[in-house]
Homo-oligomer: A and B are copies of this chain.
């Protein structure tokens, strides 16, 4: 495995753990049993990538070519479940729950956005910026959207400040950094842009206009 593949793989693992944990958290909060929690964790971690691969014509989707992603998602979900099972006071306060969710979801969003853009580039669509930004964003937001729709909670993408917006900006940063500095820079700067935007938005309570 070359330098770029190693960095991509490490980032994907971090994103998988973060998104699986966010799915497992939502499932636990909804009082699902251990199996429901695991299913939700896995769907959150691999769902966005599956939609992306079907869109790009990668058949069967990449998640089936390397079972390690789903395996890590299962393991993460089970660990989160048992952690909360034996130490449920950990997430008693809603403040803690919201904070952990924010971190997990932001990290997953940032990493999966840039992984999505780079998958589109590798499939030969380097010149179609619109497609690249779309597959980046759908990879980033798809898993969380499926998670929220299945758990029947209000979708994060519509209720949290600067969510899809951060993913789109990160995808654009990723595309242009790729053109100027190559793959590794695009992965790092793109995901950093997403995570930074979400952190600043949450910290300073940035709001986009909405109807009263």
Interface of A with B (CB < 8 Å)?
A: 27-28, 30-36, 39-40, 50, 54-57, 59-61, 64, 67, 70, 81, 84-85, 88, 125, 128, 130-131, 134, 145, 149-152, 154-155, 157-159, 161-165, 207-212
B residues near A164, Cβ cutoff 8 Å:
35-36, 39
B209 pairs with A40, CB closer than 8 A = no
Q: Which of B57, B88, B158 contacts A211 (CB under 8 A)?
A: B88
| Chain B residue, CB-CB nearest to A84 | B211
How close is A62's CB to chain B, nearest CB, in angstroms? 11
* Closest A-B pairs by Cβ, 4 of them: A57-B59, A33-B208, A36-B158, A33-B210
Instruction: Determine the chain B residues whose CB is within 8 A of the CB of A134 once the complex forms.
Output: 64
Cβ contacts under 8 Å, A212 to chain B: 88
In Å, the complex CA distance between A56 and B198 comes to: 36
Contact between chains at A157 and B211 (CB < 8 Å)? no
Cross-chain contact of A150 among B67, B88, B155 (Cβ < 8 A): B155
16 sampled A-B residue pairs with Cβ under 8 A: A30-B158, A32-B159, A32-B210, A34-B208, A35-B162, A35-B163, A35-B208, A36-B164, A39-B158, A40-B158, A50-B55, A60-B131, A81-B211, A85-B211, A149-B149, A150-B155
Contacts of A155 in B (CB 8 A): 150, 152
Number of copies: 3
B residues in contact with A152, CB < 8 Å: 152, 154-155
Q: Which residue of B lies closest to A67 (CB)?
A: B130
- Chain B residues contacting A32 (CB-CB under 8 Å) are 158-159, 210
Chain B min CB distance to A130 (Å) = 4
Which residues from B are CB-within-8-Å of A60?
Answer: 55-57, 125, 131
Would you call A36 and B159 a contact (CB within 8 A)? yes
- In the complex, how many angstroms separate the beta carbon of A161 from the nearest chain B beta carbon? 8
